[in-house]
């Protein structure tokens, strides 16, 4: 393939239906072969089952740090969504490119790949690393094995740019997330004798109500950080299951909840408080009726927030690339907190808008792709002359 455009590469990438529940290996193999065509070697980091992989590649000097360009290859499902175009086939209408992942975030990956022919030809003084991960959409899971390996290396990258869709606006922060499951185990009986049972749904409702009280406290003005929208840590319950029939006191109920935490707030404080409430206020009453009653909390996924200082080298480079130091934050999460936690300062900037992400008829504009192409050429200039 001879120096394809970002649009042409995006068309190829959209054709791979890399929903998180499925493999991404065909897409990764396409990228590996594409890079090899320009003399760039790739490393793969597979999951335990061998069904998915991260890809890491370096262009330029091998004996120093460098800048990581990071993107995730997985996309969210299209099931139940009312698409008017084929989600895994690129469509163009009125300057917009439609397809699942166009904004979140194969558009950025396409631009990075389109920049490769230029990058390999230029006299880079600072290397650029390409890091493409799996399973970001289900808890930033895949990138962790790749980061664990990078931390061991003598020349760890000095900066990471994550190309999540920000409309090419410079972003330095986002909230972290903790997802939890609560299982309530009660005791069943005929509903005519309800007081002799332990109603798991009713106790789950009390726990959910207490989560609401915690969320209300976190929303108080003294906890606000005006850089974020909403400007406070949030708690919400999103899934609940329980009960078999109306005339049976339910013995089981479970619900999933999440904490979206401002940087600096320990999200674990929320489930810890819920567990104390359960132990002190609910379990004694439940176990007085049935000693086998219990309330258990299990983590589902978690990733840290990101708060890169605006006076950092990473922020200064981002301002140079974007032509703006009007730094912002985003409400959605990224792998940025994990890179930052691995000692790689991280910023976020990419084409498209998350307003289109995860929705039917997701799109990115050609204007945004071209803007990202220009940003990456500006980065190439910096890598050749970082002074």
CA-to-CA distance for 186 and 202, rounded, in angstroms?
Answer: 10
| 242 and 336 inside one domain | no
CATH number assigned to the domain comprising residue 194: 3.30.70.360
Domain count, the chain: 2
| 113 and 258 inside one domain | no
Give the chain's mean pLDDT.
96
- Domain end point (choices 251, 283, 303): 303
Given pLDDT bands bounded at 50, 70 and 90, which one contains residue 3?
Answer: confident
| Per-residue model confidence as pLDDT tens digits over 298-328 | 999 999 999 999 999 999 999 999 999 999 9
Given pLDDT bands bounded at 50, 70 and 90, which one contains residue 198?
Answer: very high
| 89 and 204 inside one domain | no
Burial 252-291 (b: 16+ CB within 10 A, else e): bbbbbbbbbbbbebebeebbeebbebbeeebbeebeebbe
Q: Tell which residue, 14, 11, 119, has the closest CA to residue 75.
A: 14
The pLDDT value given to residue 387: 72
| 165 and 24 inside one domain | yes
| 153 and 182 inside one domain | no
Please determine, for residue 1, whether its predicted confidence score (pLDDT) is greater than 60: no
| 216 and 326 inside one domain | no
Tell me whether residue 195 is in a domain. Answer: yes
Please determine, for residue 163, whether its predicted confidence score (pLDDT) is greater than 60: yes
| 207 and 159 inside one domain | no
| 21 and 98 inside one domain | yes
The pLDDT value given to residue 120: 97
Tell me whether residue 83 is in a domain. Answer: yes
Tell me whether residue 66 is in a domain. Answer: yes
The three-state secondary structure class of 351 is coil
- Mean pLDDT over residues 267-296, rounded? 98
CA-to-CA distance for 180 and 298, rounded, in angstroms?
Answer: 6
Q: Tell which residue, 369, 374, 371, 352, has the closest CA to residue 10.
A: 369
Which residues are the active-site residues?
A: 74, 136
| Per-residue model confidence as pLDDT tens digits over 114-161 | 999 999 999 999 999 999 999 999 999 999 999 999 988 888 899 999
| Per-residue model confidence as pLDDT tens digits over 206-227 | 999 999 999 999 999 999 999 9
Tell me whether residue 206 is in a domain. Answer: yes
| Per-residue model confidence as pLDDT tens digits over 349-387 | 999 999 999 999 999 999 999 999 999 999 999 999 987
| 24 and 112 inside one domain | yes
| Per-residue model confidence as pLDDT tens digits over 58-114 | 999 999 999 999 999 999 999 999 999 999 999 999 999 999 999 999 999 999 999
The pLDDT value given to residue 207: 98
- Mean pLDDT over residues 246-270, rounded? 97
Whether 306 contacts 371, CB under 8 Å: no
Residue 131 pairs in a beta bridge with 56, 70
Q: 63 lies in which domain range?
A: 6-174+306-384
CATH number assigned to the domain comprising residue 340: 3.40.630.10
Cβ-Cβ contacts under 8 Å for 186 (sequence gap 6 or more): 197, 198, 199, 200, 203, 249, 250, 251, 252, 253, 286, 290, 293
Tell me whether residue 324 is in a domain. Answer: yes
The pLDDT value given to residue 73: 98
| 163 and 30 inside one domain | yes
The pLDDT value given to residue 145: 95
| 18 and 166 inside one domain | yes
Tell me whether residue 34 is in a domain. Answer: yes
- Domain end point (choices 303, 323, 348): 303
Whether 51 contacts 23, CB under 8 Å: yes
| 30 and 69 inside one domain | yes
Given pLDDT bands bounded at 50, 70 and 90, which one contains residue 191?
Answer: very high
Tell me whether residue 264 is in a domain. Answer: yes
Residue 92 pairs in a beta bridge with 97
The pLDDT value given to residue 2: 64
CA atoms within 13 A on the CB side of 314: 30
- Domain end point (choices 303, 330, 346): 303
Tell me whether residue 1 is in a domain. Answer: no
């Amino acid at each position: 393939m001879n120096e394809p455009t970002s649009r042409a590469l995006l068309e190829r990438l959209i054709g791979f239906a890399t929903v998180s529940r499925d493999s991404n290996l065909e897409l990764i193999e396409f990228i590996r072969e594409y890079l090899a065509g320009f003399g760039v070697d790739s490393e793969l980091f597979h999951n335990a089952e061998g069904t998915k992989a991260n890809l890491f590649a370096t262009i330029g000097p091998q004996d120093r740090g460098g800048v990581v360009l990071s993107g995730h290859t997985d996309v969210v499902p299209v099931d139940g969504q009312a698409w008017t175009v084929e989600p895994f086939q690129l469509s163009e209408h009125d300057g917009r490119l439609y397809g699942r992942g166009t904004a979140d975030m194969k558009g950025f990956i396409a631009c990075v790949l389109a920049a490769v022919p230029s990058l390999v030809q230029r006299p880079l003084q600072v290397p650029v690393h390409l890091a493409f991960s799996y399973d970001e959409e289900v808890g930033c899971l895949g990138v962790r094995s790749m980061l664990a390996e990078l931390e061991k290396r003598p020349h760890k990258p000095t900066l990471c740019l994550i190309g999540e869709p920000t409309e090419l606006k410079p972003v330095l922060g986002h909230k972290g997330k903790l997802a939890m499951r609560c299982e309530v185990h009660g005791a069943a009986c005929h509903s005519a004798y309800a007081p002799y049972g332990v109603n798991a749904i009713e106790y789950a409702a009390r726990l959910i109500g207490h989560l609401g009280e915690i969320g209300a406290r976190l929303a108080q003005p003294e906890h606000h950080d005006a850089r974020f929208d909403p400007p406070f840590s949030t708690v919400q319950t999103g899934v609940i299951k329980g009960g078999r029939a109306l005339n049976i006191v339910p013995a089981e109920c479970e619900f999933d909840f999440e904490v979206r935490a401002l940087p600096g707030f320990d999200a674990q404080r929320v489930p810890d408080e819920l567990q104390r409430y359960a132990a002190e206020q609910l379990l004694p009453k439940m176990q007085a009726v049935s000693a086998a009653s219990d309330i258990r909390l299990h983590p589902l996924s978690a990733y840290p927030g990101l708060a890169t200082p605006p006076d950092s080298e990473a922020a200064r480079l981002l301002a140079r690339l974007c032509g703006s130091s009007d730094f912002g934050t985003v409400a959605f999460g990224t792998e940025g907190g994990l890179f930052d936690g691995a000692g790689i300062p991280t910023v976020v900037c990419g084409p498209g808008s998350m307003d289109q992400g995860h929705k039917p008829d997701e799109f990115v504009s050609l204007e945004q792709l071209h803007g990202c192409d220009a940003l990456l050429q500006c980065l190439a200039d910096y890598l050749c002359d970082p002074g």
